[in-house]
Structure 1
Amino acid sequence: MENRTARLTLLIDPTKKRIFEEICAEHDLTPSQVVRRMIRQYIQDNAGGRELPEWLKPSGKVGD
C-alpha cells in the first residue's frame, strides 16, 4: 500500500459536491475513499504499458 499521501485540490460545482457527499454517506464511504477508488480504476484502465506497483495492479480485491 502507499506509504505517503499527497493532497489533490479540485474545484467542483457546489450542487455536484453536495449530491456526491450525500451518496457517499449513503454508502458509508468518505468522499476521499470514493475518489481514491476512481483514481485507482482510472490508472488501471489507462496505464498502457506503464509498469504499475504491485499494490496498484488489478487484483479483484475491493479496498481503498
Structure 2
Amino acid sequence: MESKTARLTVLIDPEKKKAFEALCAAQDQTPSQIVRQMIRDYLQQYEVDYATKPKIGAPGLAAKERG
C-alpha cells in the first residue's frame, strides 16, 4: 500500500460532481476510493507498472484494492 500521498485536482461540472458523490455514498464508498480504483484499473488496462502495485496473489489483495 502507498506510504505517501499526492493530491490530484480535477475540475468537473458541479452536477456531475453531485451525482458522483451521491452514487459513492449509496455504495458506502468515498469519492477518493472510487477515483483511486479507477486509476488502478486504467493503469492495469495499459499494463503500466508502478512502485506500489500489489503483487499477484498477495494476501489481503481484495481488501487493499478497495481503498
Tell me the TM-score normalised to structure 2 length: 0.76
Distance (whole Å) between structure 2 residues aligned to residue 51 and residue 34 of structure 1: 20
Where does residue 44 of structure 2 map in the other structure? 44
Is this contact kept in 1: 2:2–2:52, CA < 8 A? no
Aligned length: 62
Is this contact kept in 1: 2:24–2:30, CA < 8 A? yes
Distance (whole Å) between structure 2 residues aligned to residue 36 and residue 29 of structure 1: 11
What are the ranges of 5 or more consecutive residues in structure 2 without an aligned counterpart? none
Is this contact kept in 2: 1:44–1:57, CA < 8 A? no
Q: How far does the alpha carbon of each residue in 1:8-40 deviate from its partner, in whole angstroms, 9 at most, with x for none?
A: 001000000000000000000000000000000
Tell me the TM-score normalised to structure 1 length: 0.79
Distance (whole Å) between structure 2 residues aligned to residue 58 and residue 34 of structure 1: 21
Identity of aligned residues (%): 48
Greater relative CO, 1 or 2 (CA 8 Å, sep 6+) = 2
* Paired residue type of 1:28: D
Is this contact kept in 2: 1:21–1:31, CA < 8 A? yes
